[in-house]
């Protein structure tokens, strides 16, 4: 693999800064070594493409797949010039979608973080409740609890639940997309293909599959 790494960019400085920070965060959260500032542009051997196709992921994260394969690679650094023609198809939503896909495909840290924060929130709520109880017992006549602790606690717990329900929803959405097993593309026609398609024929005696060229009877077969 020869992959292109974006060294600098003439795009908006804020966007480029956010991209770099995202790649750093994804690198730390990921359980594999990823390519930072890599957009998928590169030169790939056919073996690499076959490995990528073997993943069988209907919603693939191509950049992460290349890093996960682990084949030898070389990096070429380039400076991205400012776009002169056309309009990019990416917006904040599509960038968020790709960004979340890159994290959830190679990391289980967000799910475990939800557990840790849940325990931390429970411990903090218990500590605050004990502190308010002790203060009320000591300063019974002067200390007024009011509704503030209740309201703050309810909003605090509700916000944590909403955030991590969203994270879990990302994983559930990824699972739903994968179980659909949609094809990468639908072939309309094949041109200049000399290899004839092979049709599988079952052999009940052995339970194996034999393949014969379509349209031609054959006395020899290849058992898989």
Q: Which residue has the tokens 């717990």?
A: 157
At 169 the pLDDT is: 79
At 147 the pLDDT is: 66
72-84 pLDDT, tens digit each: 899 999 988 888 8
Q: How far apart are CA 209 and CA 202, in angstroms?
A: 5
CA distances 76 to 11, 43, 98, 121, Å, are 20, 10, 23, 46
At 44 the pLDDT is: 92
At 217 the pLDDT is: 47
Calculate the dihedral angle through the C-alpha atoms of 23, 27, 30, 33, rounding to the nearest 10 degrees. 120
Low-confidence ranges of the chain (pLDDT < 50): 199-200, 202-224
Strands (E), 24-117: 38-43, 74-80
At 77 the pLDDT is: 92
**pTM, rounded to two decimals:** 0.56
Neighbours of 124 (CB within 10 A): 12
At 57 the pLDDT is: 75
At 211 the pLDDT is: 42
100 dihedral zone (left: phi>0; alpha: psi -120 to 50; beta): alpha
């Amino acid at each position: 693999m020869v992959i292109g790494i974006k060294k600098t960019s003439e795009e908006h400085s804020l966007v480029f800064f956010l991209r770099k920070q995202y790649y750093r965060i994804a690198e730390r959260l990921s359980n594999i070594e990823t390519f930072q500032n890599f957009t998928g542009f590169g030169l790939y051997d056919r073996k690499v493409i076959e490995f990528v196709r073997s993943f069988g992921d209907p919603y693939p994260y191509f950049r992460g797949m290349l890093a996960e394969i682990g084949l030898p690679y070389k990096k070429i650094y380039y400076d991205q010039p400012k776009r002169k023609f056309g309009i990019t198809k990416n917006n904040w939503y599509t960038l968020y979608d790709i960004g979340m896909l890159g994290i959830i495909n190679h990391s289980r840290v967000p799910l475990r973080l939800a557990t840790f924060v849940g325990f931390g929130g429970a411990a903090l709520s218990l500590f605050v409740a004990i502190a308010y109880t002790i203060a009320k017992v000591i300063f019974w006549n002067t200390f007024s609890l009011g509704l503030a602790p209740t309201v703050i606690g309810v909003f605090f717990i509700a916000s944590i639940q909403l955030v991590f329900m969203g994270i879990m929803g990302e994983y559930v959405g990824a699972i739903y997309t994968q179980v659909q097993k949609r094809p990468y593309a639908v072939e309309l026609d094949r041109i200049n293909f000399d290899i004839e398609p092979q049709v599988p024929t079952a052999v009940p005696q052995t339970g194996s599959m034999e393949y014969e060229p379509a349209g031609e009877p054959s006395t020899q077969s290849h058992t898989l």
